[in-house]
Amino acid sequence: MSTSFNPLIDRRLFLATASATAASLALPRGGFAQGRGDTLLVVQELGPNSLDMQGVGSNQTVNGLSWNCYDRLMSYGVKSLADGTPSYDRMNLTPELAASWTLAPDGMSCTFKLRTDATFHDGAPVTAKDVKWSFDRAVKIGGFPTFQMSAGSLEKPEQFVVVDDHTFRVDFIRKDKMLMFNLAVVVPFVINSELARKNATAEDPWATAWLKMNEAGGGAYKVETWRPGSEVILTRFDSWKSGPLPKIRRIIARDVPAAGTRRAMLERGDADLSAGFPPKDFDQLKKDGKVTVVATPIPNCLWYVALNCSKPPFDNVKLRQAIAWAMPYQQIQSNAFYNRANPMYGGNSVQNASWPQPFPYVTDLEKAKALMVEAGFEKGFETSLALDTGTATVGEPAAILIQESLGKIGIRIVIDKIAGANWRTTLNKKELPMALNRFSGWLDYPEYYFYWNFHGNNSIFNISAYRNPVMDAMIDKARFTEDPGEYDKAVKDFISLCMSDVPVVPLNQPFHDVAMQKAIAGYQFWFHREPDYRQFAKG
């Protein structure tokens, strides 16, 4: 399907419409922002489509629900970023359900001592058998959760051992520096196994149907009400033992699809917190100064154009390089993102073993045209660029600019809009010639990002269908070596190879923007980009 870029609505009409709609949705003016210190009202574009983030097709906001309503063995500590924003500390594992843990002398297992006073929301005690069942589920359920566990060499139920009611052991099948950190991401959450098994069937042994509609956790919050497409209400679990009891007793997360309406509610004081506005709106909110805007560069994250390396014409590396020299980088940065992103172009050679870092390409149409000739496409060709409609706020203007710029070197592009609900399924087929996409890796390590996106054995997020045994060997070396020098060299080598092979053309590292009332305290940035309500307070 071809698309065209529509002009922005007149701002006066936009504000009038947004304010009127906001008034119809809001509680009494300022009621939550000023008069209810124990309740947080969040307005969001799209709420959870499930209560089980391990379920097929669960969306982004399910990650936040899982984070707040379920516990994991461990979490991450907190540090301050350069601008003072509190953020998770990727190197600092802290207790959650596990009060302590001990690595074996040979480094091939870890034993966890569970809290003896932790209970699930129904009052049942949390035991090692619940952890075992939950981990078995994560590695057996398939799809993204199972891939995520395998990224830390957590692959078999036999690795998970119940020692006694409050002692649990993980046996390692290989030394993998990602393993321990992977236990603190969203996926390995601990489920009330007795409750889940009561609602399982022979055809559905992991109770996926029941857990999609029901929460069975023991986290700081429990689901009071879930109205899909409308709102979710969480209430504090006052018997929570895995950390300090949250100050906020009740969370109301309301679905308000229109960004203008959400912005109007926030500016009126009828909502406490929101995200997902267009970059232009965040830029204006920050200038207006009525609310607090926090912008955090998302670690291990890129906006990029993926090129399908498995089939013509993009199996030609010179063609991929030509496209990299033809991208309208600065126009995308200023006109689509309003500079609310770190540019990932115009770099030199690989500088260090960090990721992301700028690729050496800039907009140089003469270089691009010369490479088109070398690649055998001096007459150009037609192709398509896929766009997720759920990201159209920045994606559509970026796609239009790409269409115009590549047209100057003879590549005639049709923009293919794909509904957000079908985006991931479509990407996984690996049939799209070109795709404008964003990916972020939960674990902030270069080899983790490259494992997901460029390793030939990984079929889930390698949407470029890129296969290169040399790349695979470099990624594996970085994942498993214990030698710092070898690690540093492997990372630099695979970044350099990516720059020359160009399976993707990086555009920028986006910011995660959040706007909130000035009275809100305790916001922390987390790798999953969802609010950790356990930390919030209202002044």
Whether residues 225 and 321 share a domain: the answer is no
Q: In the prediction, which pLDDT does 81 show?
A: 92
Domain at 236, CATH number: 3.40.190.10
pLDDT at 509 exceeding the cut of 60: yes
Rounded to whole angstroms, how far apart are CA atoms 42 and 203? 38
Does pTM surpass 0.95?
no
Confidence label for 26 from pLDDT (cuts 50, 70 and 90): very low
Question: Per-residue pLDDT for 20 more than 50?
Answer: no
Q: Are residues 268 and 137 in the same domain?
A: no
Distance CA 36, CA 536 (A): 13
Whether residue 38 is contained in a domain is answered as yes
Q: Identify the pLDDT of residue 407.
A: 98
The identity of residue 167, as a single letter, is: T
Co-location of 524 and 379 in the same domain: no
| CB distance 141 to 54 below 8 Å | yes
Same domain, 156 and 184: yes
Indicate the residue among 168, 199, 230 that finishes a domain.
199
* Three-state DSSP class for residue 516: strand
Q: Are 130 and 193 in contact (CB under 8 A)?
A: yes
For the stretch 86-100, pLDDT in tens is 999 999 999 999 999
Q: What is the per-residue pLDDT across 182-197, written as a single tens digit (0 to 9) for each?
A: 999 999 999 999 999 9
What mean pLDDT comes out for the span 213-242? 97
H-type alpha helices, 386-419 = 392-407
With respect to residue 421, please indicate whether it lies within any of the assigned structural domains. yes
Confidence at residue 225, expressed as pLDDT on a 0 to 100 scale? 97
> Is 281 part of a structural domain of the chain?
no
339 and 455 co-located in one domain: yes
Q: Clarify whether residues 62 and 169 are in a common domain.
A: no
> What are the pLDDT digits (tens) for 351-410?
899 999 999 999 999 999 999 999 999 999 999 999 998 888 899 999 999 999 999 999
Lowest-confidence pick of 99-113, 433-447, 452-466, 470-484: 452-466
Give mean pLDDT, residues 243-249.
97
Same domain, 341 and 479: yes
Q: What pLDDT was estimated at residue 18?
A: 42
d(CA 89, CA 225): 32
What's the rounded Cα separation, in Å, for the pair 256 and 262? 6
Domain membership of residue 401 (yes or no) is yes
pLDDT-derived band at 34, boundaries 50, 70, 90 = very low
Q: Are residues 477 and 523 located together in one domain of the fold? A: no
Cβ partners under 8 Å of residue 360, min gap 6 = 346, 347, 348, 349, 499
- 3 in any annotated domain: no
CA distance 418 to 389: 6
Closest by alpha carbon to 45, among 262, 273, 278?
262
Q: Are 242 and 118 in contact (CB under 8 A)?
A: yes
Q: What angle do CA 441, 58, 191 make, to 5 degrees?
A: 90
Render pLDDT for 474-502 as a digit per residue (tens, 0 to 9): 999 999 999 999 999 999 999 999 999 99
Judged against a pLDDT cut of 50, whether residue 28 lies above it is answered with: no
Looking up tokens 């970026």 gives: 398
On whether both 504 and 524 belong to a single domain, the answer is no
Q: Is residue 262 part of a domain?
A: yes
**Domain shared by 121 and 233, yes or no:** no
Do 361 and 441 have their domain in common? yes
- Checking if the pLDDT of 424 tops 90, the result is no
Q: How confident is the model at residue 146 (pLDDT cuts 50, 70, 90)?
A: very high
Number of domains in the chain: 3
With a cut of 60, say whether residue 33 has pLDDT above it: no
CATH number for the domain harbouring residue 452: 3.10.105.10
What is the structure's pLDDT at 421? 75
CATH of residue 188's domain is 3.90.76.10
Last residue of a domain, one of 199, 227, 257: 199
Domain-located, residue 376: yes
d(CA 15, CA 409): 41
Per cent of the chain over pLDDT 70 is: 93
CA angle 114, 116, 122 (to 5 degrees): 105
The CA distances from residue 429 to 143, 311, 326, 432, 462, in Å, are 14, 13, 27, 8, 10
- pLDDT tens digits, 313-346: 999 999 999 999 999 999 999 999 999 999 999 9
- Do 398 and 334 lie in one domain? The reply is yes
Q: How much of the chain exceeds pLDDT 90, in percent?
A: 86
Tell whether the model's pLDDT for residue 7 goes beyond 50: no
Residue 342 lies in a domain: yes
What was the pLDDT predicted at 17?
41
Q: What is the helix (H) or strand (E) element at residue 504, kind and residue range?
A: strand 504-516
What mean pLDDT, rounded, does the chain reach? Answer: 92
User: How far does CA 331 lie from the centroid of its chain?
Assistant: 25
E strand or H helix at 42: strand 39-44
pLDDT at 119 over 90: yes
Q: Which domain holds residue 178?
A: 71-77+88-199
One-letter amino acid at 168 equals F
Average pLDDT rounded to a whole number, residues 72-81: 96
